[in-house]
Every structure is written in C-alpha cells, then in structure tokens.
Amino acid sequence: MSNCNGANGDPTDLIAQALCQELFDKCPRLDLEEFAVQAAHNAKLDWDRLVKEWARERVDNTPCPPLEDFIGLYVNTAFDISIRVAKTLDQSAKPGTDTEPLSFNINSLPRQTAKLRHCRYDTWTFIPSSRNDAARKGMMNLLKLPRLLLSFVRNSEGKISHLEWDLQGGSCEGPAPDLADRVGPVKFHKLESEHTNALTPEMDPVTVF
C-alpha cells in the first residue's frame, strides 16, 4: 500500500494510524477502512482543488529576481537531502509565466530532477501541466500546492540564505487531529561555497521523482 502512486490518497498516514491503534490498543476503535474510502474519494478531487488554489495564491506580474540569486546547493543534514538549483540546459529560456528557466535536482540523482517556474517574488514552483502529466511523472502524491513550491528566504543583507519546502503540505489522511499544523516546512541552508550555472546533461529535467 505504501508504495502506491498516491492517485487514491496517501495510505502511509492510515497505515501509521492503524499500527498505533493495534500496538497501543486505542479505544474507541476507529473504522480506518471508512477513512480509506473517503481518502480515495478526496484524492480524485485533488487536481481541481490544486488548480483553483494555484490561481488564488499566485501573484501575477511580480518581477522575477535575477536567476543567479537562487543558483546553488541547499542542504538539510538531518534529512540527508541536498537540493541543487541551476539554470536549465535550455539557456534561451527567459523568466515568465510559462517558462521554466531554473531546475532543481535532489541528491544528484538524475531522475530526481524538475524544472522550476516563477510563481511570485522569491517562490518557485514545479507544478505539473495537467493531472495526466502528474501521473506520468509519478507526482500524484504531491498534488497539494505547498508541496509544489520552493520558497527562497533572504537574510538581512538581501541574499538568499535558505529555501523552505513544505513536505507535509496539507491535511493528514484519517482521524489524526491537526497533524498538518504541527509539521512546518523543511529548511535547506544554502552553501556559499557551492555554485553552478547549469545541470549536467544526465540531469536534464525530463522526469521528476
């Protein structure tokens, strides 16, 4: 169950809650199968909700800062994750509503790569173009807008110091109360000594995750 693509909801939340219920003999007993059916129903509505939220949250006509501000390596040692942000191989791409001049790669794994589109101010997105596009790229478990945004944060000198990625990004499946409110975005600190202008050819952002 935990290896499914998320098209029918995120089963990992329900699996964890089922294990807790059995291990700790929690009462009253909850019918988690009922929550699973509801999660599958809700998942089919995710794309329409995502499109509406995207239209509501984006800020049109905000100027795109210089691409060089964002380029670099960002790390989170606790999660053992590194994110390299670079210009796409298509150097003719220019910032705009539908262009993707930046890309990011996770842990130097070629298939963990996606193109970035400017969303607003210092926030970029790798939102898929359609539900079918999300399914093709294996992104069905990411169809919550916060999960599709990389928010870059500047220090007092106006330089990018870190990026934040909300990996929880939305409500938890099942009866666990307010879990999403208790899990904040993951912070990745920028390494000043790392700088790259383009991804290598083998990291050309064709697929993601």
Can you tell me whether residue 1 is helix, strand or coil?
coil
In this predicted structure, the answer to whether residue 166 has a pLDDT above a threshold of 70 is yes
Q: Do 86 and 114 lie in a common domain?
A: yes
| 196 located within any domain | no
Residue 101 confidence (pLDDT) above 50 = yes
pLDDT (tens digit, 9 = 90+) per residue, 141-159? 788 888 899 999 999 999 9
Q: What is the pLDDT of residue 90?
A: 66
In this structure, is the dihedral angle defined by the CA atoms of residues 8, 12, 15 and 17, taken in order, positive or negative?
A: negative
Can you give the pLDDT at residue 206?
Answer: 43
Mean pLDDT within 85-100: 69
**Do residues 83 and 89 touch, judged by C-beta distance below 8 A?**
no
pLDDT band at 108 (very low <50, low <70, confident <90, very high): very high
Total number of domains constituting the chain = 2
Identify the residue with better confidence: 124 or 11: 124
State whether 130 and 161 are in the same domain.
yes
Decide which of 57, 75, 91 is a domain's last residue: 57
Mean of the pLDDT values across residues 95-117? 85
Residue 124 lies in a domain: yes
Is the separation of the CB atoms in 152 and 160 below 8 Å?
A: yes
Q: How far is CA 92 from the centre of its chain?
A: 26
- Torsion 112-4-15-128 (CA) sign: positive
pLDDT for position 173? 52
Please write the tens of the pLDDT for every residue from 14-55: 788 888 888 888 888 878 788 777 777 676 767 888 888 888
Can you give the residue range of the structural domain that contains 157? Answer: 67-191
Pairwise CA distance, residues 126 & 112, whole Å: 12
Q: Kindly indicate the confidence band of residue 86, based on its pLDDT and cuts at 50, 70 and 90.
A: very high
Please report the pLDDT score of residue 10 as a whole number: 62
Q: What is the mean pLDDT of residues 203-207?
A: 45
Residue 200 has pLDDT above 80, yes or no: no
Q: Are residues 174 and 153 in the same domain?
A: yes
Predicted confidence (pLDDT) at residue 196 exceeds the cutoff of 70: no
Q: What is the mean pLDDT of residues 179-208?
A: 63
